[in-house]
Amino acid sequence: MSTRVVRQIVRAFEITEGAGVTVHRTIGTPALRNLDPFLMLDHFGSDDPDDYIAGFPSHPHRGFVTFTYMLDGHMEHRDSMGNCGDLRSGGAQWMKAASGVIHSEMPKQMDGLMRGFQLWINLPAAEKMSDPAYQEFTPHAIPEVVEDGRKVRVLAGEYGDQHGVIDDPGTDMQYLDVGLNAGAKFSLDLPASHTVFVCVYDGEAEIGGTKLPRYSLAVLGEGEKVEIQAGSEDTRFICVAGKPIGEPIVQHGPFVMNTRAEIEQAFRDYQTGQLVKKKALMTGR
Ligand code: FE2
């Protein structure tokens, strides 16, 4: 069984989004336009209350899934499906925008901290105009595996004897939040067909001798096995995998479709109030 090595390190790009909020983007930048099936990865975080006070007021999405994982602080969410959520530290939100959702996301600090990740996951053509769906999970609903020097939170996919709370059927996504004690190791078998990336957000780690700078994205190459070792301090990272969709990607801002004509249709629908076709009720636990 071959072990995956680091194929590319993508440094985060600072981008101003929403109402003047700075996010640190890796997937979805000139260095890495997309990483099929993933379209965008933003890390947001601050210990300055003025940084995020403006948040992300009402904006549309069509053609993909947004997956938000809060590490610290919380995020108030309202959408065109009638959902009103409050994503708490350690909790997660899976929102299938599909045919169209308009929502607002307002990050808030707790104890002076706020940080998290938002990942955009593509949908196959057959699902892009399907009905939206929304799932929100409290921190206590996320299964954890605690082993020798390791704590693994299983948000999606499987680890040990635990199954994640979120199923993303189009991509068979695996989304793990891994905490390692200094010097501890983590290993995982994944299908060779899957795209895999790792993003360290606390401490330091290496893969096959390559150091992973904090908040940079490490894209892994071919293989079946992933092996990561923590450095001299306690370390936390996300390890995410998914099956590529292999279809054309045409993206314009918040709309991601397969053709230019479909993007133009999305803009027309938004301008004429036709973007939201169906409401969905919140599920989760
Ligand atoms: Fe959004």
254: CA distance to ligand 1 center in Å?
8
User: 250-280: per-residue pLDDT in tens?
Assistant: 999 999 999 999 999 999 999 999 998 876 6
Other beta carbons within 10 angstroms of residue 83's beta carbon come to 21
53 φψ region: left (φ > 0), alpha (ψ -120 to 50), beta (else): alpha
248: CA distance to ligand 1 center in Å?
22
At 283, is the pLDDT very low, low, confident or very high (cuts 50, 70, 90)?
low
222: CA distance to ligand 1 center in Å?
32
236: CA distance to ligand 1 center in Å?
25
**Distances 140 to 137, 153, 264 between C-alpha atoms, Å:** 8, 10, 42
173: CA distance to ligand 1 center in Å?
20
190: CA distance to ligand 1 center in Å?
29
As to burial, measured by CB atoms within 10 angstroms (0-12 exposed, 13-18 middle, 19+ buried), residue 52 is: buried
183: CA distance to ligand 1 center in Å?
37
6-278, what's its fold? Jelly Rolls (2.60.120)
State the pTM of this model: 0.94
pLDDT surpasses 80 at 53: no
Distance separating alpha carbons of residues 100 and 62, to the nearest angstrom? 5
pLDDT at position 266? 97
At 82, is the pLDDT very low, low, confident or very high (cuts 50, 70, 90)?
confident
263: CA distance to ligand 1 center in Å?
17
143: CA distance to ligand 1 center in Å?
26
7: CA distance to ligand 1 center in Å?
29
Residue 28's nearest CA partner among 81, 64, 76, 75 is 64
User: 104-149: per-residue pLDDT in tens?
Assistant: 988 777 776 788 999 999 999 999 999 999 899 999 999 999 998 9
At 63, is the pLDDT very low, low, confident or very high (cuts 50, 70, 90)?
very high
pLDDT at position 21? 74
Higher-scoring residue by pLDDT: 40, 57: 40
Mean pLDDT of 79-83: 83
164: CA distance to ligand 1 center in Å?
23
Distance separating alpha carbons of residues 259 and 266, to the nearest angstrom? 11
